């Protein structure tokens, strides 16, 4: 169970306030569509969040331009973290919806420097459903991609 869940309405959420400069943040970088700042929780030193400036709850709510801008900024920040913190690896992670672990419902990507012995772990239970199931899942997705909901193509 997360310690903190931000259920504020759009425009009043904690990251909207942070983007607007109404609450303090250790800012790292910004462009027209994104803002990068230090995560207050720092799972490892150098842990940055890249948020959209516009309030959008999840990846499903981003424009293609915002999606591209987030990855562009995340890569810039990752390169800076590589230089500044000399990690053994870099983890980019982002969570969509409560079930996926999202606690602040304003879109953001985590950029986390990782170290061989940092002890962080994701619970990632692998399953092996077999080739037939994989083909079935792929067919469902191909069908959905061929007929996306209006306005999302």
Q: Quick check: helix, strand or coil at residue 34?
A: strand
Q: Binds 13, which of Zn ion, ligand AMP, none (CB < 5 to 8 A, cut-off by type)?
A: Zn ion
- Residues with a catalytic annotation lie at 108
Q: Please state the three-class secondary structure of 79-131 as a single string.
A: HHHHHHHCCCEEEEECCCCHHHCCCECCCEEEEEEECCCCCCCCCCCCCCCCH
Closest-by-Cβ residue to ligand AMP is 41
Contact residues toward ligand AMP (CB under 6 A) are: 14, 18, 25, 39-41, 49, 95, 101-104
Of 102, 106, 107, 113, the residue at the interface with Zn ion (CB under 5 A) is 106
| 108 near Zn ion, rule: CB under 5 A | no
| 104 near Zn ion, rule: CB under 5 A | no
The answer to whether the CB of 90 falls within 8 A of the CB of 111 is yes
Q: Binds 45, which of ligand AMP, Zn ion, none (CB < 5 to 8 A, cut-off by type)?
A: none
Q: Write the DSSP symbol of residue 63.
A: -
Where does this chain bind Zn ion (CB under 5 A)? 13, 15-16, 55, 106
């Amino acid at each position: 169970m997360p310690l903190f869940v931000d259920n504020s309405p759009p425009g009043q959420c904690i990251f909207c306030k942070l983007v607007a400069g109404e609450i303090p943040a250790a800012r790292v970088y910004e462009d027209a569509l994104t803002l990068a700042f230090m995560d207050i929780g720092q799972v490892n030193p150098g842990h940055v969040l890249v948020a959209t400036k516009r309030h959008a709850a999840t990846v499903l709510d981003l424009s293609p331009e915002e999606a591209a801008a987030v990855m562009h900024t995340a890569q810039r920040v990752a390169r800076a973290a590589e230089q500044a913190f000399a990690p053994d690896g870099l983890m980019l992670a982002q969570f969509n919806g409560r079930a996926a672990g999202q606690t602040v419902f304003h879109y953001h990507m985590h950029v986390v420097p990782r170290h061989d012995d940092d002890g962080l772990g994701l619970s990632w239970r692998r399953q092996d459903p077999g080739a037939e199931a994989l083909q079935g899942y792929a067919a469902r997705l191909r069908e959905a991609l061929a007929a996306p909901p209006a306005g999302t193509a």
